Amino acid sequence: MKRIVFFFNIKSFVELRLAGQFIDNGDVVYSKISKSFFDVVYDIRNIMERKEFIRILECIHRITSEMGGNEDYKQICKEQEVVVWLTDSFCEPVFQFQPFSDEVRKRQEVKKREEDRKYLLGELKNIKVSELNIITSMYRDREKELSCLLENIMVPVNFYYVPCLTYDVADGEMDLIKRCAYWLAYFIRWVELRIPDYFLKHKLNLQYYKNKVLTLANEMELVNWIMECYNRKGKNNKYWFQSGVKVLAEFFLSKVCEGVQNDSIEKIQIEWVDSFKKQNLIDNLFQRIMESYLSFLVEEQRNEEHCSTTELASDAGWTLFACTKDSAVKCLLEKRRTVHKNVKVITIDEEQKLTYYTVGNGIPIVIVNALGAFVEAWDNLIYELAKNYYVVIWDIRGVDTGNQELFAKGLFGVESQVKDIERVVANEKLQDFHLLAWCSGAKSSVIYSVRNPDKVKSLMFLCGDFAPYDGMKKISSKFQDNLPLVKELLDGKSNLLKIYMNLIFDGIFRNPPEEIPIEEDFQFFEVLPVEYRDYLLALFQSEQQTANFLRICIEYYEHDITEYLQQIEHNVLLITAEHDKVAPMEQSYWAYQQIEHAQIYCLPAAVHVIMMERSREIMNYVKYHIDMCEQKEKGNWK
């Protein structure tokens, strides 16, 4: 008799290959599969591999986002038992780095475990489950979390412990080597866009990992092993991967470094040191990124006695790396995107028009931009969002078209921005939508959501600027510290204004420190990447636009939205950056404490322009957040 097999939302090649094994055995496979994963498969360059994956996809019975949405599947579930498969990435599809208190970390972990448990129960409520199979990492202790997740699920559960299971780089990628190469390539580019030719003059100094041994395996090796264990059906319900290649962490990173070299990346040399005192700020940042996103570098391999101790791979015998120059460039580098947008115009009155842009299809996301930033600054993130969502965005009015007469009427401020949200929503005839705001877009988004709770599905903030509020003096930004000077600049002193413009356009945001310090350096994190400077600094070439920008900023900091934040009833996602010097991460943490239903995440070694430089990570957070909101709306969390 054919088995009925259900996979939770296939989004990796390992899961897809595993589904193919069941299909080839004559079983019937059901799964949710996102459009973005289909796009990933169609982009595979290896023709034979692409055809094989497409064959498997065509054989899978794709179900709707709401469990049991297909009538045939719903009927089958009532009549036959179903074998269920999921990876532990179901429990943590986004990375959590939280330089906050243990209390915050524990609070979010408990809340997330409960949400995951309710979600799992909601997904399984219409299925006659015969057994549950969970693929998890041998480097991470998830027993407690998984036990909570599986509470009240009275079916046999099998665990498959595999090395370095992940797909945080891009849909479909679970390969450790590509993951590591991605972050290495990203970091080289991140530094070179701020300090050109840095790696021509400096080595990357990394601390030793004290004989840390990693276990590596390719996709087919993992899939064949999982199927072998599954078909064995012994008394043991926990299986530990014992094959693969054993390699020292230092050797692994060195080989990844060699594999990433190509024409677009400068040659980089790694030197291993025995003390953090021999590292500068850039060395420390890279090590922080690697250990945050490749946590197995610092985590111990669990139940070592279950794993074989085969001989370590040597340089001469190294065959596992498939990270070619071509694939490194294609898969790993975050490239600057250009997005074609539909242009729409709202006439406000004889003097004013509001131009906004739309792109994509699906659930609406209204983006409230930061003051003075062009919409093109969002292109990397919009490129990702538009694959699954209908995106609406505009430039904040007043910077380029404002004048003293209009400012005197109070037409360009937070309340004006709230009205612009209302205008765009009405013109688009949006019934409900998610709000996504960056920096100074935060206040108008909060106010609008409180006044229009039935319109807003959820709120999302990227490096939100929530100042001023009680106790904020400890974490104020340079602009807030210098408000008296800013007001003086606008008091008819043109020479001072020109000095300020030159300082911004040609000074602090362009020139890195001559010597890279060991400790955190404020100046380094203020330097903008070369390719984004025009989007963010262009207005400082015009006295009128600079003055308009400063006037709107002054008005912005006259609004305390503490009470509004405390009234928010929606689910809220806050994403902040560890080294944000414009809206420090402490501001997002403060806002998090004011909101009843909020989750907060901090991107390590990131700065204020996260939607430009870390769009893939943000996309993971946004997608997970919206999916959870949609599931709650459909009643899967009761």
- Do 4-162 and 342-633 share a fold? yes
Q: Does the pLDDT of residue 465 top 90, yes or no? A: yes
pTM for the predicted model, two decimal places: 0.82
Amino acid letter for position 333: L
Beta bridge partners of 353: 347
Q: Does the pLDDT of residue 60 top 50, yes or no? A: yes
- pLDDT-derived band at 442, boundaries 50, 70, 90: very high
Task: Assign 549 to helix, strand or coil.
Answer: helix
Task: Give the pLDDT confidence score for residue 327 in this predicted structure.
Answer: 45
Task: Give the pLDDT confidence score for residue 562 in this predicted structure.
Answer: 94
* CA distances for 252 relative to 167, 176, 296, 611, angstroms: 19, 10, 12, 30
% pLDDT > 90, the chain? 26
- pLDDT-derived band at 531, boundaries 50, 70, 90: confident
Q: Does the pLDDT of residue 170 top 50, yes or no? A: no
Rounded-to-integer distance, Cα 557 and Cα 478, Å: 13
- pLDDT-derived band at 317, boundaries 50, 70, 90: very low
Q: Is the dihedral of CA 603, 606, 609, 613 positive or negative?
A: negative
Q: Does the pLDDT of residue 214 top 70, yes or no? A: yes
332-358 per-residue burial string, b: 16 or more CB within 10 A, e: under 16: bbbeebebebeeeebeeeeebebebbb
Residue with tokens 């990435």: 89
Q: Does the pLDDT of residue 468 top 80, yes or no? A: yes
Fold of 4-162: Rossmann fold (3.40.50)
- pLDDT-derived band at 507, boundaries 50, 70, 90: low
H-helix or E-strand spanning residue 162: strand 157-162
**How many whole angstroms from its chain centre is CA 360?**
19
% pLDDT > 70, the chain? 72
SS3 content of the chain, % helix, strand, coil (to 5): 45, 15, 35
**Close Cβ partners of 232 (under 8 Å, ≥ 6 residues apart):** none
Section 627-632 average pLDDT: 81
Higher pLDDT, 375 or 514: 375
Task: Give the pLDDT confidence score for residue 509 in this predicted structure.
Answer: 67
Give backbone dihedrals phi and psi of 525, rounded to 5 degrees, phi first. Answer: -75, -10
Q: Does the pLDDT of residue 293 top 50, yes or no? A: yes
Q: Please name which of 263, 223, 181 lies closest in space to residue 52, comparing C-alpha atoms.
A: 223
Angle in degrees, 0-180, between the axes of helices 543-556 and 494-503, rounded to the nearest 10? 90
Task: Assign 158 to helix, strand or coil.
Answer: strand
* Residues 342-633, CATH architecture: 3-Layer(aba) Sandwich (3.40)
Q: Please name which of 19, 26, 29, 24 lies closest in space to residue 2, comparing C-alpha atoms.
A: 26
Higher pLDDT, 312 or 568: 568
Number of CB atoms found within 10 A of residue 89's CB: 21
Q: Does the pLDDT of residue 498 top 90, yes or no? A: no
Q: What is the DSSP string of 361-426?
A: -SEEEEEEPPTT--GGGGHHHHHHHTTTEEEEEEPPTTTTT--HHHHHTT-SSHHHHHHHHHHHHH
Q: Give the tens place of pLDDT for each residue, 479-494.
A: 566 666 666 666 666 6
- pLDDT-derived band at 146, boundaries 50, 70, 90: low
Q: Does the pLDDT of residue 329 top 60, yes or no? A: no
Number of CB atoms found within 10 A of residue 52's CB: 16
Rounded-to-integer distance, Cα 294 and Cα 176, Å: 8
Task: Give the pLDDT confidence score for residue 17 in this predicted structure.
Answer: 92
Task: Assign 271 to helix, strand or coil.
Answer: strand
Rounded-to-integer distance, Cα 598 and Cα 602, Å: 13
Higher pLDDT, 130 or 95: 130
Q: Please name which of 103, 121, 268 lies closest in space to residue 190, comparing C-alpha atoms.
A: 268
Rounded-to-integer distance, Cα 225 and Cα 230, Å: 9
Rounded-to-integer distance, Cα 295 and Cα 276, Å: 18
**Close Cβ partners of 159 (under 8 Å, ≥ 6 residues apart):** 134, 136, 146, 237, 238, 239
Q: Please name which of 571, 547, 563 lies closest in space to residue 637, comparing C-alpha atoms.
A: 571
168, 95 in Cβ contact below 8 A?
A: yes
40-54, 515-529, 549-563: least confident range: 515-529
Rounded-to-integer distance, Cα 497 and Cα 503, Å: 10
Q: Does the pLDDT of residue 304 top 60, yes or no? A: no
Q: Is the dihedral of CA 471, 477, 482, 483 positive or negative?
A: negative
Q: Give the tens place of pLDDT for each residue, 250-271.
A: 888 877 777 666 544 556 788 8
Q: Please name which of 405, 451, 407, 400 lies closest in space to residue 425, comparing C-alpha atoms.
A: 451
Number of CB atoms found within 10 A of residue 231's CB: 9
Higher pLDDT, 21 or 338: 21
Q: Give the tens place of pLDDT for each residue, 581-624.
A: 889 888 999 999 999 889 898 888 899 999 998 888 898 889 88
Q: Please name which of 28, 12, 151 lies closest in space to residue 90, comparing C-alpha atoms.
A: 12
Task: Give the pLDDT confidence score for residue 326 in this predicted structure.
Answer: 42
Beta bridge partners of 271: 205
Higher pLDDT, 170 or 202: 202
Q: Is the dihedral of CA 447, 450, 452, 453 positive or negative?
A: positive
Q: Enumerate the domain spans of the chain.
A: 4-162, 176-216+223-332, 342-633
Give Dmax over CA atoms of the chain in angstroms. Answer: 85
Task: Give the pLDDT confidence score for residue 88 in this predicted structure.
Answer: 67
Share the mean pLDDT of the chain: 79
Residue with tokens 């300082």: 503
Q: Give the tens place of pLDDT for each residue, 387-428.
A: 889 999 999 988 887 767 777 777 788 999 999 999 999 999
Helices and strands: H and E segment counts in the chain: 26, 19
Q: What is the DSSP string of 13-45?
A: HHHHHHHHHHHHTT-EEEE---HHHHHHHHT-S
Task: Give the pLDDT confidence score for residue 570 in this predicted structure.
Answer: 93
* CA distances for 626 relative to 40, 419, 571, angstroms: 21, 25, 10
Task: Assign 533 to helix, strand or coil.
Answer: helix
Q: Cα torsion for 543, 546, 549, 553, to the nearest 10°?
A: -120
95-109, 213-227, 465-479, 512-526: least confident range: 95-109
Highest mean pLDDT: which of 46-55, 183-192, 296-305, 485-494?
Answer: 46-55
148, 250 in Cβ contact below 8 A?
A: no
Q: Long-range contacts made by residues 183-186, C-beta under 8 angstroms, separation at least 24?
A: 183/289, 183/290, 183/293, 183/294, 184/256, 184/257, 184/260, 184/268, 184/290, 185/260, 185/265, 185/328, 185/332, 185/333, 186/332, 186/333, 186/334
Rounded-to-integer distance, Cα 598 and Cα 614, Å: 21
